[in-house]
């Protein structure tokens, strides 16, 4: 009987170790392990942030907090719970100096989905040509569960450009939500004159887009 129990114990331990090894190898090959270590070990010269902006993201009458953070040359949005403990963070992709998050809107995307629309100025670049662009990002919340927070990088909705030949333009796009296919979930639409980009929310933080130049 003791030998049988010992054999079962060895099999279970072997299975546990193999499962751990498999997860470890998967993290190595996917880059997740290196990324986690890199973020944990990273040290910044300076970290500054905006004031904490209070919003009730999940409708429980308690405020969560949103803050825009600059860590050296990196731009981040962080979301904290009612106790100001960080529960979500996401890094924007800056393209020049003076980048900033300057507008946030909380809206209903559908009966079970809320959305934070983030209006982010990507910054100014002056290498050869002058260009300044803004991009819309979206953070979704499914079923009022803050564990489902997922960020999505949208498309440019503002573009100011001047090239070396003297050409200059400034384009302001419309950003709005509308249920185009009558499925009770609104689409994210970015429109400029006859150009329209449509993003369909598929659930679990995933979007379908037909924009090839995002």
Q: Give residue 130's pLDDT.
A: 84
Structure-token pair, residue 60:
């429980």
Structure-token pair, residue 99:
């980048």
Tens digit of each residue's pLDDT (9 = 90 or more) over 84-112: 999 999 999 999 999 999 999 999 999 99
Q: How confident is the model at residue 121 (pLDDT cuts 50, 70, 90)?
A: very high
Tens digit of each residue's pLDDT (9 = 90 or more) over 14-50: 444 444 445 444 554 555 555 555 555 678 999 999 9
Question: What is the mean pLDDT of the segment spanning 123-128?
Answer: 82
Give the contacts of 1 (CB within 8 A, at least 6 positions apart): none
Nearest to 99 by CA among 135, 129, 63: 135
Map out the domains of the chain as residue ranges: 2-39, 44-209
What phi and psi, each to the nearest 5 degrees, are found at residue 13? -65, -40
How far apart CA 176 and CA 199 sit, in angstroms, is 11
- Between 6 and 54, the higher pLDDT residue: 54
Reduce the DSSP state of residue 39 to 3 states and report it.
helix
b/e per residue, 5-32, with b = 16+ CB within 10 A? eeeeeeeeeeeeeeeeeeeeeeeeeeee
pTM for this one? 0.78
Give the CA-trace dihedral at 24, 71, 53, 205, to 10 degrees. -40
How far apart CA 48 and CA 69 sit, in angstroms, is 6
Tens digit of each residue's pLDDT (9 = 90 or more) over 169-201: 889 999 999 999 999 999 999 999 888 999 999
């Amino acid at each position: 009987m003791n030998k049988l129990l010992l054999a079962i114990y060895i099999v279970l331990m072997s299975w546990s170790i193999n499962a751990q090894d498999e997860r470890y190898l998967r993290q190595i090959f996917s880059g997740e392990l290196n990324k986690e270590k890199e973020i944990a070990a990273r040290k910044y010269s300076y970290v500054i942030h905006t004031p904490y902006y209070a919003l009730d993201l999940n409708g429980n009458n308690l405020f969560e907090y949103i803050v825009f953070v600059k860590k050296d040359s990196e731009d981040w949005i962080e979301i904290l719970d009612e106790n100001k403990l960080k529960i979500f963070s996401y890094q924007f992709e800056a393209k020049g100096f003076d980048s900033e998050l300057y507008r946030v809107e909380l809206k209903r995307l559908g009966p079970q989905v809320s959305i934070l629309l983030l209006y982010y100025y990507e910054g100014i670049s002056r290498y050869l040509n002058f260009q300044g662009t803004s991009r819309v990002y979206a953070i979704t919340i499914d079923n009022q569960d803050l564990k489902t927070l997922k960020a999505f990088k949208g498309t440019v909705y503002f573009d100011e450009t001047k090239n070396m030949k003297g050409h200059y333009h400034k384009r302001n796009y419309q950003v709005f939500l509308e249920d185009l296919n009558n499925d009770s979930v609104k689409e994210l639409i970015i429109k400029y004159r006859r150009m329209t980009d449509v993003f369909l929310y598929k659930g679990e933080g995933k979007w379908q887009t037909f924009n090839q130049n995002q």
